Amino acid sequence: NSVRPSSAIAYVYRGTFVHSTQQTALQILEDALLGVDTEGKIAFIGEGKELEKLSQTFGFSTSEVTQLEQHEFFMPGMIDTHIHASQYSYAGTALDLPLLQWLNTYTFPVESRFKDLEFAHRVYTQVVKRTLRNGTTTACYFATIHTDASLLLGKIANDFGQRAMVGKVCMDRNNGVKHYKESAQESQDETCRFIKELLNKKYPLVKPVVTPRFAPSCTGALLGQLGAIAKNNNLHIQSHISENVEEVQLVKELFPESESYTDVYHKYNLLTDKTVMAHGCHLTDEELDLFRETGASLSHCPNSNFSLCSGVLNVRNVLKHKVKLGLGTDVAGGYSASMLDAVRRTLDASKVLTIQDPEHNTLTFEEVFRLATLGGSQALSLDDITGNFEVGKDFDALRVNVAAPDGPIDLIQYEGPKTHLEKFLNLGDDRNIMEVFVAGRKVLPLTEPTAE
Ligand code: GUN
Ligand code: FE
């Protein structure tokens, strides 16, 4: 499993690597060698005993190889498939109302503040820094309706070196906070401006996403226009679906001609193989079939689903329907901006289903590890670029020390990589994440961008 390098080797690590493949949820490579080329791509991954041969084939010096410590391993960077950057300021509060009331009471008033670019700069800088420290190498962000602030989020992600998908939020319907909306025409025009200006910046790791907030916030006319924009420009799409029962009922009333919530998006060409929909707790099997047929994916946001008492997604059933699925923090409906929390809450949600029905096949930590990494890359249609340590992909990785000196894990003895990963997923935090790489570049420790 090595190919001839297209560019020179920049660096080589030797030690334990853990990742997922389509076939195995957890593949452990002990005493492995991984080389990264000057373009940030994985040039080779081989065995330590092949050092001599690899160094000749790929033209690097064996003395330049960096050896990991015994309690260290590399894992793929985690992929947050759904996070509202604009809601980070009130994360950890305001979790006492169900979705629709929560939006009107807390969310819309805060999001309206992002017309102030100074406020946007403060919040967006903090959320990018925090998620990078937490090991999120790729984030799929919702911003707000404000185009310039949304562009600023793209700039900040680029400056800190995070891979990001950024959506300027579209909504032409809002009965709760009446001033926080656009006309359909404005929303369409500003979406086009957002896409054009973001693409013009040529940030290598940042992509625009067409972002209708969710069906209740949009008229059919706007949904149709956004579907057309996505199609004509071959763009990613993100939104929310079937998060809570009241919302599903509201969609039925607002779109009486549609057979289901999924059918609303499908009808407006918003379900494609580049679409990711958050939640989906209350989707029927027929709706999941439509997801599979269109190639659309789901983002599972268990902290949010618990915190707003929205529902419990049956991930096993989603996987049975062969629908692509990743994990999301859904800040601030979810109170934690850490994907490790999303991993834990995913396991909890699965266990709740097993408590209710002992026949339920509980997710394993290995499976949830895959959802947080490779699954996320598939859900965002980025799996030819990131998600695991396949040769040719970008090196998006976390250097984890399970026994970090001031960390939260007391390791009594060496347990081996599988147990070290399990301990990190269940007990670890940012103190265990020693380095973060995105596209081969070391982005943690953080480097503050230099003013231009
Ligand atoms: N549905 C529509 N908007 C939102 C939002 O901001 N957060 C969550 N959790 N669900 C939504
Ligand atoms: Fe959300």
Tokens of 369: 């590890």
Confirm whether pTM is higher than 0.95. yes
pLDDT of residue 160: 98
3-state DSSP assignment of residue 442: strand
Q: What's the rounded Cα separation, in Å, for the pair 24 and 110?
A: 43
pLDDT of residue 6: 64
What number of residues does the chain have?
452
Does the pLDDT value for residue 306 go beyond 60?
Answer: yes
163 contact partners, CB below 8 Å, separation of at least 6: 137, 138, 139, 157, 205, 206, 382, 386, 394, 396, 438, 439
Phi, psi for residue 166 in degrees, rounded to 5 = -125, 130
Q: What's the rounded Cα separation, in Å, for the pair 275 and 294?
A: 9
- Residue 344 CB–ligand 1 contact under 6 Å: no
Residue 22, CA distances (Å) to 138, 174, 280, 370, 417 in order: 20, 42, 23, 9, 20
Closest residue to atom 11 of ligand 1, CA basis: 240
pLDDT-derived band at 4 (thresholds 50, 70, 90) equals low
Half-sphere exposure of 300 (CA within 13 A, CB side): 31
Axis-axis angle for helices 184-201, 147-160 (nearest 10): 30
Closest residue to atom 8 of ligand 1, CA basis: 333
pLDDT of residue 246: 98
Give the CA angle between residues 264, 267, 271 to the nearest 5°: 85
pLDDT of residue 302: 99
Does the pLDDT value for residue 451 go beyond 90?
Answer: no
Report residue 341 CA to chain centroid gap. 13
Ligand 1 centroid to Cα of residue 142, in Å, is 10
**Average of per-residue pLDDT values in the chain:** 97
Q: What's the rounded Cα separation, in Å, for the pair 379 and 347?
A: 19
Answer yes or no: are the C-beta atoms of 430 and 437 closer than 8 Å. no
Number of H helices, E strands in the chain: 16, 17
Q: Which of 95, 250, 330, 335 to mutate to test the pocket of ligand 1 (most atoms within 8 A of CB)?
A: 330
pLDDT-derived band at 235 (thresholds 50, 70, 90) equals very high
- Residue 107 CB–ligand 1 contact under 6 Å: yes
Give the containing element (helix H, strand E) for 433.
Answer: strand 433-438
Ligand 1 centroid to Cα of residue 352, in Å, is 23
* pLDDT, tens digit, 9 for 90 and up, residues 85-141: 999 999 999 999 999 999 999 999 999 999 999 999 999 999 999 999 999 999 999
321 contact partners, CB below 8 Å, separation of at least 6: 285, 288, 289, 291, 292
> What is 253-282 written as a DSSP string?
HH-TTSSSHHHHHHHTT--STTEEEEE-TT
pLDDT of residue 442: 98
Ligand 2 centroid to Cα of residue 345, in Å, is 16
Which residues lie across from 314 on neighbouring strands?
none
Query: What ligand 1 atom has the least distance to the C-alpha of 107?
Result: 6
Report the DSSP pairing between strands 136-142 and 78-84. parallel
Query: What ligand 1 atom has the least distance to the C-alpha of 330?
Result: 9
Does the pLDDT value for residue 1 go beyond 60?
Answer: no
Answer yes or no: are the C-beta atoms of 401 and 69 closer than 8 Å. yes
Ligand 2 centroid to Cα of residue 258, in Å, is 23
- Residue 82 CB–ligand 1 contact under 6 Å: no
3-state DSSP assignment of residue 411: coil
- Residue 329 CB–ligand 1 contact under 6 Å: no
Ligand 2 centroid to Cα of residue 137, in Å, is 19
* pLDDT, tens digit, 9 for 90 and up, residues 323-346: 999 999 999 999 999 999 999 999
pLDDT of residue 7: 83
Query: What ligand 1 atom has the least distance to the C-alpha of 142?
Result: 6
Does the pLDDT value for residue 256 go beyond 80?
Answer: yes
Q: Which residues are near ligand 2, the ion (C-beta closer than 5 Å)?
A: 278, 330
pLDDT of residue 450: 80
pLDDT of residue 448: 87
- Residue 214 CB–ligand 1 contact under 6 Å: yes
Closest residue to atom 7 of ligand 1, CA basis: 333
Ligand 1 centroid to Cα of residue 34, in Å, is 40
Residue 220 CB coordination number (10 Å): 16
Phi, psi for residue 142 in degrees, rounded to 5 = -95, 135
Which residues lie across from 248 on neighbouring strands?
none
Measured from the alpha carbon of residue 330, the closest ligand is: 2
Average of pLDDT values for 55-81? Answer: 97
Ligand 2 centroid to Cα of residue 293, in Å, is 24
- Residue 261 CB–ligand 1 contact under 6 Å: no
* pLDDT, tens digit, 9 for 90 and up, residues 368-399: 999 999 999 999 999 999 999 999 999 999 99
Answer yes or no: are the C-beta atoms of 378 and 422 closer than 8 Å. no
Q: What's the rounded Cα separation, in Å, for the pair 409 and 407?
A: 6
Which residues lie across from 80 on neighbouring strands?
139
Answer yes or no: are the C-beta atoms of 143 and 153 closer than 8 Å. yes
Q: What's the rounded Cα separation, in Å, for the pair 324 and 301?
A: 14
Sign of CA dihedral 86, 234, 388, 65: negative
Q: Which of 100, 107, 307, 309 to mutate to test the pocket of ligand 1 (most atoms within 8 A of CB)?
A: 107
Answer yes or no: are the C-beta atoms of 272 and 228 closer than 8 Å. no
pLDDT of residue 43: 97
Closest residue to atom 9 of ligand 1, CA basis: 333
Ligand 1 centroid to Cα of residue 393, in Å, is 32
